[in-house]
Amino acid sequence: MSERFTLLSGCSGGGKSTLLAELRRRGLACVEEPGRRIVEEQLASGGTALPWVDAAGFARRAIAVALADREAARRGPGRVFFDRGLVDAAAALEHLTGEPTLETLGRAHRYGRQVFLAPPWPEIYVADRGRQHGLEAAVAEYERLALTYPALGYAVTILPKVSVAERADFVLAAIG
């Protein structure tokens, strides 16, 4: 089942959501990043599970959303592309708190073996209402994830810095 789940991860502001939108435009099943959805929900409700207010609370909420996303995707047919997911959230929580979430969650709830990482791309990086951290923090997160995925047995493929259409073609060719 997990081989149906293709994960896009990597640097914040590296073009993952734009790539996901292109894959969706091509008719493929896609799941949006849990973090972006949580930020919008928390801002709308006046909540505090925001990465710049309560980072651990945000990561815990991202874990819950990622688990629900996986369960919903499991019930449907065919390949599903995820913009970030459980491993990203568990890695963030473990980094923030030291809680061993990667060993328990990261190994129990697998995605497809091949994971695509968007590298830091300063030329397209933009902070906004939902992404208030700078490029330096995004690069540090990327470096943690670039070590985390192989340690969990994933095969990492770095996305090329090309147009969104070329990136989508690259991903689709890589997964066959």
CATH number at residue 84: 3.40.50.300
- Structure confidence at residue 94 as a pLDDT band (50, 70, 90): very high
pLDDT in tens, 129-158: 777 676 788 889 999 999 999 999 999 999
Domain count, the chain: 1
Q: What is the pLDDT of residue 104?
A: 85
Among the listed residues 135, 122, 137, 119, the one whose alpha carbon sits nearest the alpha carbon of residue 55: 137
**Prediction pTM value:** 0.92
- Residue 7 makes CB contacts below 8 A (sequence gap 6+) with 81, 82, 84, 85, 87, 111, 112, 115, 116
Question: What whole-number distance in Å separates Cα of residue 59 and Cα of residue 54?
Answer: 9
Q: Beta partners for 31?
A: 82
- Domain region containing 55: 2-175
- Residue 85 makes CB contacts below 8 A (sequence gap 6+) with 7, 9, 31, 34, 66, 69, 70, 111
State yes or no: pLDDT of 121 exceeds 80.
yes
b/e burial code for range 92-115 (CB count within 10 A of at least 16 → b): bbbbeeeeebbeebbeebbbbebb
